[in-house]
Amino acid sequence: AQKVTQAQTEISVVEKEDVTLDCVYETRDTTYYLFWYKQPPSGELVFLIRRNSFDEQNEISGRYSWNFQKSTSSFNFTITASQVVDSAVYFCALSWNSGNTPLVFGKGTRLSVIA
Amino acid sequence: EPEVTQTPSHQVTQMGQEVILRCVPISNHLYFYWYRQILGQKVEFLVSFYNNEISEKSEIFDDQFSVERPDGSNFTLKIRSTKLEDSAMYFCASRPGGKTEAFFGQGTRLTVV
């Protein structure tokens, strides 16, 4: 079965701290895609990143970075020097069959950044 | 930048009434989806639509739900006889051919009273 686990329900940090959001996935497929979406208090879902199963290279985009490790089936997301605007619910999601299936989401991690 | 647009942003309806949630996907996208998120819970897949037909649906998408793409631009989700447990945020998403990332609308919050 395909599954995404985000064990951290809520995280609270003080502004400028670094924070890592964990994501563990399960799939038997060899070609799959992993995603992170951000849901700010306004409610929309904002696409952040996609990573395919053949690309284990870590990615950095500004203050955001992602660590994909197939050996541990994890796709963790780190925010460096967090800001209040980073406060949101963050969802990790999985699509398999070469990305042709609908997304399976984790339960999300609510991040609160306190000034 | 093109975006997925959903209307209305919030709908309140009485139990047993029919509702239609509307979406305008990004033009030239080929795959369309409806997801829902019960308050405080995870986002769940309802149905996917490709080439003018349903390509996949979840067990949530029972006979009271239907989807249509009536005119090549709109994509609608109809709930025939709403129940209290249908109260949720409903997200429309679209995806271009050859790409895997789906882009979501801002959601319609449905409240059934």
pLDDT above 80 for B1: no
- Which two tokens mark B113? 């009273």
Q: C-alpha B34: how far from its chain's center?
A: 3
pLDDT above 90 for A56: no
Chain A interface includes B32 (CB < 8 A): no
DSSP code of A103? Answer: P
Give A49: exposed, middle or buried? Use CB within 10 Å, 0-12, 13-18, 19+. middle
- Which two tokens mark A110? 């609510």
pLDDT at residue B36, as a whole number: 97
Please, what's the b/e burial string for B70-98 (b: 16 or more CB within 10 A of its CB; e: otherwise)? eeeeebebebeebeeebbbbbbbbbbbee
pLDDT at residue A60, as a whole number: 87
Contact B91 A99 (CB under 8 A): no
Q: For all residues of chain B together, what is the average pLDDT? A: 94
d(CA B34, CA B47): 5
Chain B interface includes A107 (CB < 8 A): yes
Question: A80-103, pLDDT tens digit by residue?
Answer: 999 999 999 999 999 988 778 899
Residue ranges of E strands in chain A: 3-5, 10-14, 19-21, 24-26, 33-39, 46-52, 59-61, 64-69, 74-79, 88-95, 104-105, 109-114
Chain A interface includes B50 (CB < 8 A): no
Question: B45-77, pLDDT tens digit by residue?
Answer: 999 999 899 999 999 999 999 999 988 789 999
